[in-house]
Amino acid sequence: MQLFQFRLQGRVQLGLRFGQQTGRFGLNFTETLQAFQREALGREQPAIERMETFLDEYLDLNTVVQQVLAFFQNYHGKAELLLQEDPEILPPLQRPGKILCIGKNYVKHAEETGSKPPTAPVYFGKVADCIIGPNDTIHMPRDFGRVDPEIELAVVIGKPGFQVKQDQAMDLVAGYTILNDVTARDLQTKAKDTGHPWFASKNYATFCPLGPAITLKEYVHDPHDLEMVLAVNGEVRQEENTKQMIFSIPVLIETLSHQLPLRPGDIIATGTPHGISPLADGDVLELSIQGLGTLKNTVRAV
Ligand code: MG
């Protein structure tokens, strides 16, 4: 069960993909939800066109998605709700409240950067202005020196929580997607060496490819057992299983929410495995995580 955002005739809308029943290109979820509210609940409501709005309004996504799908099965105007062509897929979230990223959460990656594995989660932020979607172009400023991609499992928060304990933490999760934590490695090394923050090396417009969809957590067997592969021009550079994470998702949620409230739409990028390497102009990146799909982007030196 995957929710995505697409653009059709200039409008951003939500889509849903789930097996055969949602057709080849998916279901227009924005229109189906509105038809469900009107016909099944007797409520005229404005269309929900943004993932952030949907996450804010519905805390139990799987229940509402199942209700809407059941309605769709018997709806007389069913055919009109199926997408008839391959839509332009946008990032599944464009204005999340925050993007919290974990550094050095895989032992071999910590080692390849010359660091010891941390004893508590290390984190930093990326801002929403860096987000791009599937098939968009990553811009690599020539004066930045080395720029690396980093494949990461991204957790999408669906329920608010502050100072949440590990045993309650997974209740906050709505689903998962793929995030590429693009990093200006030379700038980061210089920042580390001089004791300055990493911010500039992690935040350049286009440095946060995200997508292609949010897979609801109920349809991910175990987020701590997913194969992930990053290929550049078809050559595998990073390949690891999320079971190698040092700090699990509940530990990350407990740590981050101790300091900041987590809210629907917030993203936690859980860290990248070993195999980091520099990008070049014209590279084609494909980031795949088991059950979540593939996030593809090209690179352009600017
Ligand atoms: Mg990273």
142 and 260 in a single domain? The answer is: yes
130 and 260 in a single domain? The answer is: yes
Q: How far is the CA of 245 from the centre of ligand 1 (A)?
A: 12
Which residues have a Cβ under 8 Å from the Cβ of 201 and sit 6 or more positions away? 183, 184, 185, 187, 188, 191
**Hey, how many other C-beta atoms are within 10 angstroms of the C-beta on 277?**
13
Q: How far is the CA of 149 from the centre of ligand 1 (A)?
A: 9
Q: How far is the CA of 101 from the centre of ligand 1 (A)?
A: 6
13 and 64 in a single domain? The answer is: yes
pLDDT of the chain along its 302 residues, tens only? 999 999 988 899 999 998 888 888 999 999 999 999 999 999 999 999 999 999 999 999 999 999 999 999 999 988 999 999 889 999 999 999 999 999 999 999 999 988 899 999 999 999 999 999 999 999 999 999 999 999 999 999 999 999 999 999 999 999 999 999 999 999 999 999 999 999 999 999 999 999 999 999 999 999 999 999 999 999 999 999 999 999 999 999 999 999 999 999 999 999 999 999 999 999 999 999 999 999 999 999 99
Q: How far is the CA of 42 from the centre of ligand 1 (A)?
A: 46
Backbone angles phi, psi at 24, to 5 degrees: -70, -40
Whose CA is closest to 45, among 32, 34, 56, 31?
34
Q: How far is the CA of 7 from the centre of ligand 1 (A)?
A: 29
229 and 140 in a single domain? The answer is: yes
Using a cut of 0.95, tell me whether the model's pTM lies above it.
yes
Q: How far is the CA of 59 from the centre of ligand 1 (A)?
A: 28
Give the residue from 90, 112, 142 where a domain finishes: 90
Give the residue from 55, 90, 125 where a domain finishes: 90
For residue 49, give its domain range. Answer: 2-90
Number of structural domains found in the chain: 2
251 and 128 in a single domain? The answer is: yes
Give the residue from 90, 108, 143 where a domain finishes: 90
Q: How far is the CA of 152 from the centre of ligand 1 (A)?
A: 7
157 and 286 in a single domain? The answer is: yes
**Hey, how many other C-beta atoms are within 10 angstroms of the C-beta on 276?**
19
CATH code, 201 = 3.90.850.10
